[in-house]
Amino acid sequence: MVLEATMICVDNSEWTRNGDYSPNRFQAQQDAVSLICGSKTQANPENTVGILTMAGKGVRVLVTPTSDLGKILGCMHGLEIGGEMNMTSGIQVAQLALKHRQNKKQNQRIIVFAGSPVTYDKKVLEMIGKKLKKNSVSLDVISFGEDDNGKPEKLEALVNSVNTSDSSHIVHVPPGSNALSDVLLSTPIFTEDGEGGSGFAAAAAAASGGAGGYDFGVDPNLDPELALALRVSMEEERARQEAAAKKAAEDGSKQEKGPEQSSSSKDIPMTDASLSSTQEIDKGVEPMDEETALLQQAIAMSMSESQPGQSSGGMADNEMPDAITVDQDLAHALQMSVSNDNKKDLSADVNKVVGDQSFLSSVIASLPGVDPNDPSVKDLLASMEESKGKENDKKSEGDDGDKQ
């Protein structure tokens, strides 16, 4: 229920004779204007709508903002097509008409139909946009028909310079079998003002489309809840598909960086808490051989078992998806788990990992700040050697421990 005064700028230039929108650009536009007027006046009883034409002998205000729908629709008849569209003066005249609206509490909005090419410089349009913004006027642009000379960019620049908190919109409508007004129904120009607008839009769609024209084959008048549910569902699905497409594109670009990104779906029973940090390692290690996979399991456990203070450094490092750094981090995490000698089951698990003596010694040698000849390290290695071959089912316990 937005209280609004709207000025609609109609494009009646020679360009609108083209028949690429059915029945032709101008009549498609007229339909859309009638629809917008109906929607606006229904959204709030105090809303007013005015109409002006931008082409012809000059900008002509057909009707100043009024809530009388008959007056608005009546003035649309017998309009003559001719001349070139004068968009900048059209917008400025519209602003002037809005400024002198009777109810100053109404928000101001200008809706511009642009079917002909835009000859103005981008800077000029942005300047006008800023002026509208300064006077807190919102602007909707419906761009259809010609799109030469960077028209979409220019109009987008115009709308962007006006836009504050997403109140201004631009819609590009390509020519096609769909009526201009039908396309607009699902755009923010109709749906932004909440229930009232969209309800009207749904009703109008039902009325204009006929039985075959319903979305999903459901009459929104008969079962509005079902229709809404279907619509919401479709929007969600669209959002999901967009996200999936985006992700696929991102993955595609990442793949070039290194083979470690190739698998992201390897499943290891982990808790949610540790999942995010371990997944990175997960990806990194998978393509390597089996022993590193084992190592990686041990790290995952050590990270969740060790004290938060100890683990934080390791976790942060482990965020790096790079294969080389992951190796170092493995060692780092391993070191932490080894030094945490009161965790018996853990060392038993690590034991499996350190079965490969040569690998372990190379890992320890590569550790920063760890002397492989250090007696305590030697001690530990010896103790691991002893316990090697003990029970293996500790692993499952370790996994349980992760869940804490």
Partner 1 sequence: MSTAIHRNQVDLVNFIDFTEVECLNYVVGSHPLSNALKQVFRDDEDLYLQSDADEQLLMYIPFMQVVKLYSIVIFGSEEDGPRTVKLFVNKEHMGFSNVNDYPASASIDLSSENLKGEPIILKYVKFQNVRSLTIFIEDNQGGTEETKVQKIILNGTTVDTTNMKDLKKIEEH
Span near partner 1 by CB under 8 A; candidates 23-31, 127-135, 243-251, 313-321: 127-135
136 lies in the binding site for partner 1 (CB under 8 A):
yes
**Could you tell me if 179 and 22 are in contact, meaning their C-beta atoms sit under 8 angstroms apart?**
yes
Give the burial string for 177-197 (b: 16+ CB within 10 Å, else e).
eebbbbbbbbbbbbbebeebb
Specify the residue, 77 or 134, whose C-beta has the smaller distance to partner 1. Answer: 134
Sign of the CA dihedral running 215, 221, 223, 224: positive
160 lies in the binding site for partner 1 (CB under 8 A):
no
CB 156 to partner 1: min, Å: 18
CA-based R_g, the chain, Å? 33
Binding-site member from 71, 122, 131, 231 for partner 1 (CB under 8 A): 131
396 lies in the binding site for partner 1 (CB under 8 A):
no
CB 160 to partner 1: min, Å: 12
Site residues for partner 1, window 224-263 (CB under 8 A)? none
Span near partner 1 by CB under 8 A; candidates 10-18, 125-133, 216-224, 308-316: 125-133
Q: How many residues bind partner 1 (CB under 8 A)?
A: 10
CB 129 to partner 1: min, Å: 9
Specify the residue, 131 or 254, whose C-beta has the smaller distance to partner 1. Answer: 131
| Cα–Cα distance measured from residue 320 to residue 348, given in angstroms and rounded to the nearest whole number | 28
The enclosing H or E element of 299 equals helix 290-305
Specify the residue, 132 or 173, whose C-beta has the smaller distance to partner 1. Answer: 132
| Cα–Cα distance measured from residue 372 to residue 370, given in angstroms and rounded to the nearest whole number | 6
130 lies in the binding site for partner 1 (CB under 8 A):
yes
Specify the residue, 130 or 238, whose C-beta has the smaller distance to partner 1. Answer: 130
**Could you tell me if 300 and 270 are in contact, meaning their C-beta atoms sit under 8 angstroms apart?**
yes
Binding-site member from 45, 70, 77, 104 for partner 1 (CB under 8 A): 104
Query: Strand pairing of 107-114 and 60-66?
Result: unpaired
Task: Compute, in degrees rounded to 10, the torsion defined by CA atoms 317, 321, 326, 330.
Answer: 70
CB 67 to partner 1: min, Å: 20
Q: How many Cβ atoms sit within 10 Å of the Cβ of residue 43?
A: 22
Span near partner 1 by CB under 8 A; candidates 41-49, 126-134, 263-271, 290-298: 126-134
Span near partner 1 by CB under 8 A; candidates 131-139, 240-248, 252-260, 352-360: 131-139
Query: Strand pairing of 107-114 and 137-144?
Result: parallel
Binding-site member from 17, 68, 99, 403 for partner 1 (CB under 8 A): 99
Q: Please give the structure tokens belonging to residue 279.
A: 């997944």
CB 132 to partner 1: min, Å: 9
Distances (CA, A) of 215 to 79, 125, 225, 263, 382: 33, 37, 13, 39, 73
Binding-site member from 71, 122, 133, 172 for partner 1 (CB under 8 A): 133
Specify the residue, 165 or 404, whose C-beta has the smaller distance to partner 1. Answer: 165
Residues whose CB is less than 8 angstroms from the CB of residue 239 and which lie 6 or more positions away in sequence, other chains included: none
Binding-site member from 17, 58, 68, 135 for partner 1 (CB under 8 A): 135
122 lies in the binding site for partner 1 (CB under 8 A):
no
Residues whose CB is less than 8 angstroms from the CB of residue 110 and which lie 6 or more positions away in sequence, other chains included: 6, 7, 8, 9, 91, 94, 95, 98, 132, 137, 138, 139, 140
Place of tokens 């997960």: 282
Binding-site member from 57, 77, 134, 252 for partner 1 (CB under 8 A): 134
Which residues of this chain interact with partner 1, rule CB under 8 A?
A: 99, 104, 130-131, 133-136, 164-165
